Structure 1
Amino acid sequence: MDEHCEVNWLVDTEQANARQGTVRWDPVHSLWNGGHLAVALAIAPFVASPGAVLTGIALTGLFLLLGHSVGFHRLLIHQSFRVSRPLFRFLIWSGTVAGMSGPFWIMRTHDLRDWAQRQAGCHDYLAHRRSMPVDAWWQIHCTLRLDHPPRFDPRNLGRDRFLHFLEKTWMAQQLPLAALLYAIGGWGFVVWGISVRIALTVHGHWFVGHLAHRRGPQSWLVKGAGVQAHDVPWAAIPTMGEAWHNNHHAFPGSARIGLYPGQSDWGYAFIRLLERTGLATDVRTPDMMIARQALLGPARAGDQRRLRHHPCFSRQNR
């Protein structure tokens, strides 16, 4: 199997078990997420202005694109393309400023879920299997402590001082941006550009993730996986293409997630722009993952042929 389709940062030890564990309150992330939501609900309406609202929306989209989708997910976690060291640091900083957590926490949390969903069975927390209110509380305010987790091994990234700096200061990274926003437009810009943005990012990320493991269109089934993914078409644009989650489960190491005509993928469009300007190399797409196709089965009749003949699987038509 192509190594870029593996879970990159976990070591699956013999004792590792995805089923047995305890959900516990996570005070750091709970207070952070709940605090920004409270500010967004209680204060934002009273300091709203056209400029503040537009700034909040624009910054939400900007950091979702550069930081969460391109920087954290496709670059840091899946290594689906390469960039220079300065650009790498800028994109990972953008992911940190998106406001969900630091880079190592994101890597560990993401890969634990990926690893667990590929097992024959896993804990309800990792499968988004509970009702929406319970899953929201679990994902936004709690963490899962597995009795026997796999080992987290960031390898060479574990020696990166810049990543450790971001991990330790991920909440404080909002302060320079907050100061700039205050200088431009006062407290209204700060509330909308920081708290509303973070609340939208955190809660939107959970909501789309919940739906993507519960209902929606499917093209592919991953053989042996206890949890399958679904697409959430209406969320394709606000998630920068991440909502084509069934495609992502099929080819997790691909920089391109929107595979079919009409599947908007702004994250991949930005990576292609970087590639055309010489700022990104080794951009990986499903045509480079032939071994991965052996692990996939079509969710509908005819999909296997439709995938193999799609232009995105032809290097010259990429």
Structure 2
Amino acid sequence: MTPLERRVNMAAVFLPFAVTLAAIPIFWGSWLGWSDVVVFLFMYLVSGLGVTVGFHRMLTHRAFQTHKATRYLFAYMGMLSVQGPVIDWVADHRKHHAHTDTEGDPHSPHVGEDGGAMGTLKGLWHAHTAWLWRTHGQARAHKYAKDLVEDRGMRVLNRKFPLIVGASLAIPAVLGGLLTMSWHGALTGLIWGGFVRIFLQHHVTWSVNSVCHFFGKRRFEVDDHSTNVFWLAIPSFGESWHHNHHAFPRSAAHGLKWYEIDPSQMVIGAMKRVGLAWDVVTITPERQAQKLVGAKKAAPAAKPEEEKVAEPVA
């Protein structure tokens, strides 16, 4: 990736954030206040963890087990992010892992890339946004998400997606109105906790698809282009330790080093401590060492059960 291509890609990621941040001092006091910040953060946290803990680690990869009611709650929270119905999301992501960075991957920046500058930019554009109207939702649910299709509760939630999208906008409006006891607060709550939050959350998720498959750090032997990108860790709730995730897809923790901050894993760890999660999949340091780049090929592979320990990774 040339310096120009990298700058163009980063501009596509950061420009929407910059515009929104620039609007804050302009609108502060009249169209942005503390109530809007509270509503934004609350909605971003709830819907974001619904995607990372619920859609991704719990439902797609079965990194831990929980009660049915908790599964349905996280599925609902994930759909508040407006990233699609739960079954479609899971099917697309499992297909992504089945064909990572090869033909069939719904959102790889590398498939069809001709190696030139324009090909690279087209690949990044496809992975970041264009896949949503090209390959999004095309993964066959009965093949890639059969367990969810056979779950009546998940089917019901899946069908209610349009109503949940409405709730994703109505909830911040109601919260804003209650916090300020005004229609103006309801309107600004809708703007910042609804539209702006969804917009920013989408770009963070899309950046995992594009940025985290193009540049960053790598340390494990994997057959794809996944990378770890540290500056996305907080807004993505730990999803940007994407190379770690592709090395060990079932791991509940994506941050495998003490300094790799992973808020989603912290939530899963807290759930385990209060009895809301069990059979939490973790990867032993020995197993990680075996998969490092340059590790001896003769080292014996860990047995599947060695990837589960009693306590979650901190």
TM-score by length of 2: 0.72
Deviations 1:50-88 (A, max 9, x none): 3213421332133212x0111110101111111111111
Is 2:159 the counterpart of 1:168?
Answer: yes
The 5 A counterparts of 1:1-318 are 47-65=31-49, 67-117=50-100, 121-122=102-103, 126-129=107-110, 130-131=120-121, 132-143=124-135, 152-173=143-164, 174-175=166-167, 176-178=170-172, 180-181=174-175, 183-184=177-178, 185-222=185-222, 225=223, 227-287=224-284, 297-299=291-293, 315=309, 318=312
Matched letter for residue 268 of structure 2? I
What runs of 5+ residues in structure 1 fail to find an aligned partner?
1-36
Q: 2:227·2:242 contact (CA, 8 Å) conserved in 1? A: yes
CA distance in 1, matches of 2:73, 2:67: 10
| Counterparts in 2 of 1:127 and 1:272: CA distance versus 1, 3 Å | same
Distance in 2 (alpha carbons) for counterparts of 1:59 and 1:144? 24
Cα 1:283–1:238, aligned 2, differ >3 Å: closer, same or farther?
A: same
Query: Do the aligned residues in 1 keep the contact of 2:107 with 2:127 (CA within 8 Å)?
Result: no
In the TM superposition, structure 1's runs of 4+ consecutive aligned residues that sit over 4 Å from their partners are 43-46, 148-151
Query: Structure 1 residues 316 and 275, CA, compared in 2 at 3 Å: closer, same or farther?
Result: closer
In the aligned structure 1, how far is the partner of 2:196 from the partner of 2:104? 31
Q: Unpaired runs of 5+ in structure 2?
A: 1-16, 111-119, 179-184
Alpha carbons 1:218, 1:246 under 8 Å: kept: yes
1:157, CA displacement in angstroms? 2.3
The answer on whether the counterparts of 1:181 and 1:189 sit within 8 Å (CA) in structure 2 is: yes
CA contact (8 A) 2:212 2:242 kept: yes
Q: 2:162 & 2:54 partners in 1: Cα distance?
A: 18
Q: Is this contact kept in 2: 1:181–1:193, CA < 8 A?
A: no
* Greater RCO, 1 or 2 (C-alpha within 8 Å, sep 6+): 1
Q: Which amino acid aligns with 2:228?
A: D
Shift of 1:273: 0.8
Q: TM-score, normalised by structure 1?
A: 0.71
Q: Cα RMSD over matched residues?
A: 3.7
Percent of residue pairs identical? 25
Higher strand share: 1
Name the SS for the 2:252 alignment partner. Answer: coil
The Cα offsets for residues 169-227 of structure 1, whole Å up to 9 and x where unpaired, read as 223213252552353231100111111111111121112321111011101122xx3x2
How many residues are paired up? 266
1:100-154 CA-to-partner distances (Å, cap 9, x unmatched) read 1111110111111111117xx42686421241345434134432698x9896253
Secondary structure, in 3 states, of the residue corresponding to 1:127? coil
